[in-house]
């Protein structure tokens, strides 16, 4: 199995910041940072097993979707050389509509 570097698109980085802010507000900054650290580590681990998730070429060519702790939907693409995390959707957001845009 080949290892690929993992990059976060600017939109995915914004999603991480918004998620941190929300969790810090409803729980605590400590809880938020622990959750974001776990989520980011999971995403970075996709460099080892890049072919995980479900293919969703019906929404966007090359799109894959994976879940994290039953609360986050991770939208990403895989090429020969890298994995790109496109977006991170928390809870029941309409991610399909947002990805199509």
Q: Which domain holds residue 39?
A: 6-100
- Number of domain units in the chain: 1
Give a yes or no: residue 44 inside a domain.
Answer: yes
**Is 55 among the domain residues?**
yes
1 within some domain: no
CATH of the domain at 12: 3.30.2310.20
Strand order in the sheet with 63-68: 6-8, 83-90, 72-78, 63-68, 54-55
pTM for this structure?
A: 0.86
Task: List pLDDT tens digits, range 54-82.
Answer: 999 988 899 999 999 989 999 999 999 99
Asked whether the predicted pLDDT for residue 94 surpasses 90, the reply is: no
In a domain, 75, yes or no: yes
């Amino acid at each position: 199995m080949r290892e690929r570097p993992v990059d976060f698109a600017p939109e995915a980085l914004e999603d991480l910041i918004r998620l941190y802010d929300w969790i810090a507000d409803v729980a605590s900054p400590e809880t938020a940072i622990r959750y974001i650290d776990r989520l980011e580590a999971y995403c970075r681990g996709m460099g080892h097993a890049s072919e995980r998730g479900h293919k969703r070429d019906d929404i966007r060519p090359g799109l894959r979707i994976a879940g994290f702790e039953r609360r986050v939907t991770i939208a990403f693409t895989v090429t020969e050389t890298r994995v790109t995390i496109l977006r991170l959707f928390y809870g029941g957001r309409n991610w399909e509509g947002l990805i199509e845009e």
